[in-house]
Structure 1
Amino acid sequence: MVEKRCPRLQRDGVYRWFSELPSPQRVEFLCGLLDLCIPLELRFLGACLEDLARKDYHSLRDSEIKANNPADLGSLTNLTDEVVRSKLLVSLALLGSAHREAAGVLFRTLTHIDSVINNYGLQLNEGRTGDEFLLLFTMASNHPAFSFHQKQVLRQELTQIQSLMASSGKNPSTSTLNTMATYPGCHKVGILLFARWDGTGLCLRLSFQTVL
């Protein structure tokens, strides 16, 4: 009854709840919503996203080329390096759905997480490290460029990371909403997911914000 009487109130509650989620959970939730959409809804949403993405096309063009080039991705192997992890996040966000070879390079890099944690003693509860790995594996395990088998393996790795973080006492749900990356030249690039209500419908956007 409450739902029928106060649809706007319930909807605003969902928006507030979504705005407070950390980035990995936002990605997971949005992918789940897309799976529930019918084909015509997906085509419409695709047109909306295409229009929104066009605004950042030129500023992200160089990064997009690198994100889909296996040779460039092949140099991003040191998962203990915060800068490398940040570049991998950007690469996953800009990776095209048909670029299987590039996805294969990323898959081989990400599946070394066990040796990175065990051999290098990487602590997931230090700073943003755990949050970055959660976002990396959430994006990768939902990305269409990866095969079904690859997604299964990445999902298992994600589950392991979540378990390790839980056992270390860090609750993933309280992690920061934005993952910030530091690049040469003292630029900070944030991957920011947000929902915006324009009065007619829910407008979802994956946005990149550069701050000098």
Structure 2
Amino acid sequence: MVENRCSVQREGVYHWFSILNSAQRAEFLCGLLDLCVPIELRFLGSCLEDLARKDYHSLRDAEIKANNPADLSNLTNITDDVVRSKLLISLALLNSDNRDAAGVLFRTLTHIDSVINNYGLQLNDGRTGEQFLLLFTMASNHPAFSFHQKQVLRQELTQIQEILQVTCGEQQAGTGALATLSPATSIPTYITAPTLNSSQTGCPCCHKTLHREDGAERVDEGIGSEPMPHMTSLSCKELPVKVHVGKPSKGCNM
């Protein structure tokens, strides 16, 4: 029984992890590593080393550039989507003891305030927001950065998360406002004679209107002029009226 329960919980964790974005995955995995004891870390390191060896040759050139401060100094325009992609690759392939390269990346990433304020970078764009979240999540957890650098990068990450939360809140508020207005949208519909007659039952104002129309016809006939078109014949045709979707009819309260 306990084994089945653990299996269900494990499958739930796997499913939950599979729907996370890259930044959330990296943050969660780093948190798990902090909970591991040294022997567990050495074992996991061996497993990771074996998995990483499969792509060693294909990533060799990119790894050399990622650990070269001169190459990293050219990746300063973080408003460019291509530059951000290269920075992500550089952070992934950066050696854990390369302080010089980490310093170059740190100076590039700490310009995020001026970039957002001066260039009006829209973080609410799905891809842009995810890239910045992943950049600062990886940098704030990377061992190549000093403790002080990680603190600054963590503050920048918190600022980006707050901007995204405010933006998402505004979008949800706008969507809610549209959903509130949509039921009150007037659409034309048609009422046939049976519907009109049934709506007149128990409605004194409707009877008064018909009585006035009949009286007007009698006056016209008494004068001897040409008879007016019979108004009640309109009830046999389909009359366009305005109704509000989602609201019940209020009868005569117009």
Normalised by the shorter chain, which TM-score bucket?
A: 0.7 to 0.9
Flag the 1:72–1:40 CA change in 2: closer, same or farther, 3 A.
same
Question: Paired residue for 1:20?
Answer: 19
Which residue number corresponds to residue 115 of structure 1?
Answer: 114
Q: Distance in 2 between matches of 1:94 and 1:113?
A: 22
Q: Distance in 1 between matches of 2:2 and 2:76?
A: 49
Task: State the secondary structure of the residue aligned to 1:128.
Answer: helix
Partner of 2:207: none
* Alignment partners' CA distance in 2, 1:141 and 1:3: 38
1:12-91 equivalences under 5 Å are 12-91=11-90
- Alignment deviations for residues 48-70 of structure 1 (CA, whole Å, 9 cap, x no partner): 00000000000000000000000
C-alpha deviation, 1:5, in angstroms: 4.5
Correspondence 1:169 to 2:168 = yes
Task: Tell me which structure has the larger Cα radius of gyration.
Answer: 2
User: 3-state DSSP class of the match of 1:6?
Assistant: helix
Q: Matches of 2:79 and 2:14 in 1, distance apart? A: 35
Give 1 or 2: higher helix fraction: 2
Superposed CA RMSD in Å reads 1.4
Separation of aligned partners in 2, 1:25 and 1:120: 27
Structure 2 runs not aligned, ≥5 long: 171-254
SS at match of 1:98: coil
Alpha-carbon distance, 1:127 to partner: 3.9
How many residue pairs get matched? 170
- 1: CA distance, partners of 2:20 / 2:87: 21
Output the CA distance in 1 between the equivalents of 2:147 and 2:112: 19
Q: Which amino acid aligns with 1:145?
A: A
Matched AA of 2:61:
D
Maintained 8 Å contact 1:67/1:92? yes
Query: Any conservation in 2 of the 1:125–1:170 contact (CA below 8 Å)?
Result: no
Q: Secondary structure at the match of 1:18?
A: helix
Q: How far has the Cα of 1:148 moved from its partner?
A: 0.3
Q: Which amino acid aligns with 1:12?
A: E
Q: Which has the higher contact order (CA 8 A, sep 6+)?
A: 1
Distance 2:110 2:162 in 1: 16
Q: Kindly state the Cα deviation for residue 7 of structure 1 after the two structures are TM-superposed.
A: 1.1
Shift of the alpha carbon at 1:124?
0.3
Shift in alpha-carbon separation, 1:134–1:105, aligned structure 2, 3 A: same
Amino acid at match of 1:10: Q
**Superposition pairs for residues 98-177 of structure 1, below 5 Å?**
98-169=97-168
- Cα deviation, 1:47-105, whole Å, max 9, x if unaligned, reads 00000000000000000000000000000000100000000000000000000000000
Deviating beyond 3 angstroms after TM superposition, the runs of 4 or more aligned structure 1 residues are 2-5
Q: Evaluate the alpha carbon distance shift between residue 150 and residue 113 of structure 1 in structure 2; reply closer, same or farther with a 3 A threshold.
A: same
Partner Cα separation in structure 2 for residue 44 and residue 109 of structure 1: 35
Distance (whole Å) between structure 2 residues aligned to residue 127 and residue 14 of structure 1: 25
**Identity in percent:** 77
Distance in 1, Cα, partners of 2:18 & 2:164? 23
**Cα separation, 1, equivalents of 2:18 and 2:161:** 21
Report the 3-state secondary structure (helix = DSSP H, G, I; strand = E; otherwise coil) of the residue aligned with 1:75.
Answer: coil
Structure 1 gaps of 5+ residues are 172-212
